[in-house]
Structure 1
Amino acid sequence: MTEPISQEWGVRIRTGCRVSFTLIDLNGETGRRNGMASMALRSPGLEAFVLPHHTIEVEADENGSAHLEAVTALMHRLREAWQGPPAKAVVRKGLPPHTGFGSGTTTAVAVGRAYAQFAGVSVGTAEIARAAGRAGTSGASANLIERGGFLVDGGHLNPDDFSDDPRRYLVPSRFAGGGKRPPVLVSAPFPAWPVLVVIPHGNQMHGEAEREFFARTLPIPAEEARRTAHAVLMNLATSVLEADYTAFCRAVNFLTYESHFKQKQIDMQSSQVKFLLEEARRGEEVDAIAMSSEGPLCYAFTRRPQAAVSWLSELRSAGIVQDFWFSGARNVPADIDWVPVLEDGRTVIA
């Protein structure tokens, strides 16, 4: 471990958010469970700083404040493990929490990566995710910080006693604990197709409510897990690699409207989310739409942007949609760089 280069320097990290197409195997009879198809978006993005300070401290904007306790605990844990210097973490631009952007894992791992550079420690996201108690279900957020783009991970090897009580291990990420990071099966740049991010008025599924949902829904039938795995590997991933927009939209819509677990997730959502998805299915404004994780975040693909914007504007006026905007894939890893810090603690980087 080495000291920071000087008390006049801090570290900034900027990265995108994670959106999920689907978890893959929520049955586990093959000996592995979970796995996820996901991608990184440019907007919304996360920006955080680790700055010289006399003690460990964390502050955040309104979005990032949802993870203050977890990030503070992680900073203390990493400092103790690495015998690192004290520092102040500032989440200047946080991701909307409990919405489907992977905010918890992305925030923790991003701040951990920035602190590692600040402390002069060479470590990857896998170790930081374990320290944060993350990546126990999917390695999407941790892997996307390192890679960006489109990603399919292979989930986790089941323990020997998995069959005794599958529900013990088929749990949301925050309850699974930090384990070995899932292996990456597919990692590729996502094509230059605009992504229409849509935030409908919906339910934020997290904490005990999410754990209870998993407990009463899983394991899903083995045949349904096989259908989802086939759709992800033979349709969704191949269409991304071949930049086949039509095949991609067909695969996305299958996962949204026909895959077993996604239907269970949609069943838990608000009437506004269900209305949005049904309207998207019947109309011609968008070519495909997905709901990330438990939602309410949805994201769509269209060749008719003006029609899509007009449609969503009407849904916003009707109280169905809160907000929407066009984004795109972030096909690069997180940006991590040194930034100068003034005596009053302000950075001089805009």
Structure 2
Amino acid sequence: MKLNSPSRIHMGLIDLNGELGRVDGGVGVALDYPNFQIEGKESSEIEIDFRIEIDEKDKENLESRIKNAAKNVLDIIGETGISLKVNDAILSHSGLGSGTQVSLSTGKITSLVYGIDLNAETLAKITGRGGTSGIGVAAFETGGFIVDGGHTFGEGKDKIDFRPSSASKDVKPSPVLFRHDFDWDIVLTIPKGEQVCGDREVDIFRKFCPVPTEDVQKICRLVLMKMMPAVIEKDFDSFGKVVNELQNLGFKRAEVGLQKESLKGLLSKLQEVSYSGISSFGPTIYSLGDKDTITEISNEFFDKFGIEGEIISTKANNSGYEIIK
């Protein structure tokens, strides 16, 4: 049995202010490619076989995530082992949601091999995902363009402080407020380089939160009154203008500001010919527009700064994970 799950772009967190008693919330799109593919069968112990070439450090990180997710699910369903083969993977810490997809995919294939079908919300709780953004969990389950409603905030609530999903293990996934098929192609520019994760990610949340109330108010208005209707009405320009504007608001402004000057320059240049933003903490830039022009500018950037990277033309995944028997 095989399972394919989508990657995702994260366009922004909605409310990292918390005055209304709720925090987080997010906007994002599930992607058809890159994806994570894992194959599973019964075993008496946890076995992991990589069928792809992968950097040794990334392999260790990925193996650890898979092992932990498999063990947590096996403990719940009362089994001792699973044999897993990794056939494809999403680059770790690139802004494409690899951590959530690895955990949910591993958990799902492990439970299904033993005839138990655990839903995405249950798997997220078991594997400790979705503690800040609900986009990755919803992308796995249904795909599409997604807006989630975050978490209750304050003493005795879901969360009492600002922190990323990696440091929010016991928080339930966010409710999905809006989900719709997404029809526009997307180009990903993925430079290799510095990545934000772990303790550094936690420190960034502490430093830049809470964000100004006026930023949150503007983000909410843009998402509710411009972005969501644009998806329904297939209004490409209205949707894209919000993408560009979000880069200068709220926590996204901090995420963009932390990028290298060369990457910020590329983002500005791409915004001259397309609608572009940083996905999550980056370094991936997603762009909507003419694929050839976006690719040409991205390649010029890689050549100019001597940076290795990847440019991927992709589309939305509007169905979520897929089981291949």
Seen in structure 2, the aligned counterparts of structure 1 residues 141 and 50 have a Cα distance that, compared at 3 Å, is: same
The 1-side partners of 2:310 and 2:141 are apart by: 29
Check conservation: 1:202, 1:269, Cα contact below 8 A. no
1:226 is matched with which residue?
A: 217
The residue correspondences of 1:306-317 to structure 2 (distance < 5 A) are: 306-317=292-303
User: How far did residue 66 of structure 1 move?
Assistant: 2.1
Structure-1-length-normalised TM-score: 0.86
Seen in structure 2, the aligned counterparts of structure 1 residues 275 and 17 have a Cα distance that, compared at 3 Å, is: same
Look up the equivalent residue of 2:177 and give its one-letter code.
Answer: L
1:294 is matched with which residue?
A: 281
2:6 is matched with which residue?
A: 16
Among 26, 32, 45, the residue aligned to 1:42: 32
Structure 1 runs (4+) deviating above 4 angstroms are none
Among 172, 187, 192, the residue aligned to 2:164: 172
Look up the equivalent residue of 1:19 and give its one-letter code.
Answer: I
Identity among equivalent positions (%) equals 27
Seen in structure 2, the aligned counterparts of structure 1 residues 86 and 196 have a Cα distance that, compared at 3 Å, is: same
Among 105, 108, 113, the residue aligned to 2:108: 113
The 2-side partners of 1:80 and 1:313 are apart by: 47
Matched, 1:200 2:183: no
The 1-side partners of 2:163 and 2:16 are apart by: 10
Deviation string 1:293-326 (CA, Å, 9 cap, x unpaired) is 1100011011x33333322222221125622121
Matched, 1:77 2:72: yes
2:43 is matched with which residue?
A: 53
The 2-side partners of 1:277 and 1:29 are apart by: 32
User: How far did residue 122 of structure 1 move?
Assistant: 2.6
The residue correspondences of 1:43-192 to structure 2 (distance < 5 A) are: 43-60=33-50, 61=52, 62=54, 65-84=60-79, 86-160=81-155, 169-191=161-183
In structure 1, runs of 5+ residues without a counterpart are 1-10, 339-350
Q: Helix, strand or coil: the match of 1:235?
A: helix
The 2-side partners of 1:323 and 1:76 are apart by: 33
2:229 is matched with which residue?
A: 238
The 2-side partners of 1:53 and 1:43 are apart by: 30
1:251 is matched with which residue?
A: 242
The 1-side partners of 2:129 and 2:294 are apart by: 36
Equivalences, count: 318
The residue correspondences of 1:329-344 to structure 2 (distance < 5 A) are: 329-338=316-325
Structure-2-length-normalised TM-score: 0.92
Matched, 1:273 2:259: no
The 2-side partners of 1:190 and 1:146 are apart by: 15
In structure 2, runs of 5+ residues without a counterpart are none
Deviation string 1:215-265 (CA, Å, 9 cap, x unpaired) is 111111122112112212222122111110010111111112x21321111
Q: Helix, strand or coil: the match of 2:86?
A: strand
The 2-side partners of 1:20 and 1:154 are apart by: 14
Seen in structure 2, the aligned counterparts of structure 1 residues 117 and 84 have a Cα distance that, compared at 3 Å, is: same
Q: Helix, strand or coil: the match of 2:73?
A: helix
The 2-side partners of 1:139 and 1:67 are apart by: 21
Seen in structure 2, the aligned counterparts of structure 1 residues 75 and 307 have a Cα distance that, compared at 3 Å, is: closer
The 1-side partners of 2:220 and 2:43 are apart by: 47
Seen in structure 2, the aligned counterparts of structure 1 residues 14 and 271 have a Cα distance that, compared at 3 Å, is: same
The 1-side partners of 2:203 and 2:24 are apart by: 17
Query: C-alpha root-mean-square deviation of aligned residues, in Å?
Result: 1.8
Which is greater in Rg?
1
The 2-side partners of 1:327 and 1:22 are apart by: 20
1:211 is matched with which residue?
A: 202
Q: Helix, strand or coil: the match of 1:318?
A: helix
Check conservation: 1:20, 1:293, Cα contact below 8 A. yes
The 1-side partners of 2:193 and 2:206 are apart by: 21
Look up the equivalent residue of 2:316 and give its one-letter code.
Answer: A
User: How far did residue 159 of structure 1 move?
Assistant: 3.8
User: How far did residue 200 of structure 1 move?
Assistant: 2.8
